[in-house]
Amino acid sequence: MKYLLCFLFFFLFFYPSVRCLKEDPDIKRDVTQMITSKGYPCELLTVTTEDDFYLGLHNMPNPGKPPVILWHGIAQNAASWTCNFPGEDLIYFLYDAGFDVYLGNSRGNNYSMSSKLYNPKKDPKDFFNNCYIDYMTKYDLPATVDYILEKTGFEKIAYVGHSQGTIINFAALASNPDYASKINFFAALAPAVFLKHTNSSLIRLVEEFVDNNNIFDLFDLFHTYNLDINNPVLKIVMSYLCKLLPTACDSIFWMVAGYDPKHLNITRNPVYVAHLDSLPLRDMKMLDQWTHTGRFQMFDFGNDQDNYIHYGQNTPPLYQLSNIIPGKAPKMMIFYGGNDLLADPYDVEHYLLPRLNPDLFWEKPIFISDYSHADFLWAQNAKDLIYKKIVNALLQLDFGKVNNYF
């Protein structure tokens, strides 16, 4: 209670000062509004998965042009690709270069909070216990890709993922050959596929609680199955806090995945924070399991009997990256950073890359020594270090053009 009172005192004391600060309009805009306010087209579509979840899909329509889909990371949504401006965000470069751009949304985030079978308010346990990596892999990606290919008439699509957006695509490529045959290019930004050496303070904190108190049992006791980071009140408070104390925002990002403000436009911090999204606890629990096992595996239900019911074996199956075969899977570009606390470079170099056939690489994986997890999305120099490489690779792949856009 004393912490709550301290927080209320802090907020009420500083609120008059914060109100005087000009609020960035992107804080309260949704994805469509953020894009159209910059002079680009955008529409929100709906994809229905095989298990009857309804996913929001944002499209910057460029009819007749090759499709590209971008997929966000954990506790985020499609807005993670829209928080800066034309000339900075990858989506605008792709659109201007002549691509039909789509932004996916995983089940359980603000744009995919609906299901035919479960109501997230009335049936939160059933709804959010179906919102985790395995089901995003099995249902969300195939349904979204098939929807786009049917809509556009193209046979293949390019894929760009960040963080968990890389996890689910690697998992789908490894476990679903039909899906793999429909992806012609994969750019993996900050691939957090192996987490044995992660130094994310948030994940290590969860790990500590799990080891000593089993925090997930505690959440279950209180019927909590999702951390509602998207709560409107919390978003307002966090945005005001970022405006008044920018270092507080720095601490939030650092705690999750590492943070170095030198590459970012820190005036956009309130926008970045405002568009964080919900975090299903089963999804978080699955990532925590990986920190213990060091394995790229399906969800562990905690006992042999339940695992056998789900998998036909006592232990969760691995996502076998050796199943991603050159000629039957996309060419890849991999970007990872030296200051990334979540996708630790040791895990990328010693666990992920050795398990991938070198013939899959479009070019040698690119290491950016001073990049943290958020830089791949929002760094001011990402255009030169990452985005132009992706756009030019796609131009060469789809149009036979070489290095002619930037």
3-class DSSP assignment, residue 226: strand
Estimate the crossing angle of helix 2-19 against helix 232-244, to 10 degrees.
Answer: 60
How far apart CA 314 and CA 316 sit, in angstroms, is 7
Active site residue 373: yes
Rounded to the nearest 5 percent, the helix, strand and coil shares of the chain are 50, 15, 40
Active site residue 223: no
Q: Taking Cα atoms as reference points, which of 170, 144, 121 lies closest to residue 297?
A: 170
Angle at 321 between CA 315 and CA 323, to 5 degrees: 100
Residue 387 DSSP class: I
How far apart CA 285 and CA 282 sit, in angstroms, is 5
Residues 6+ apart with CB under 8 A from 245: none
If DSSP states are collapsed to H, E and C, what string results for 82-119? CCCCCCCCHHHHHHHCCCEEEECCCCCCCCCCEECCCC
How far apart CA 388 and CA 323 sit, in angstroms, is 30
Q: Which residues pair with 44 in a beta bridge?
A: 58
Catalytic residue among 89, 134, 300, 340: 340
Number of residues that make up the chain: 406
Query: The tokens of 184 are what?
Result: 């012609």
How far apart CA 345 and CA 123 sit, in angstroms, is 39
Active site residue 114: no
Catalytic residue among 106, 115, 163, 278: 163
Residues classed as catalytic: 163, 340, 373
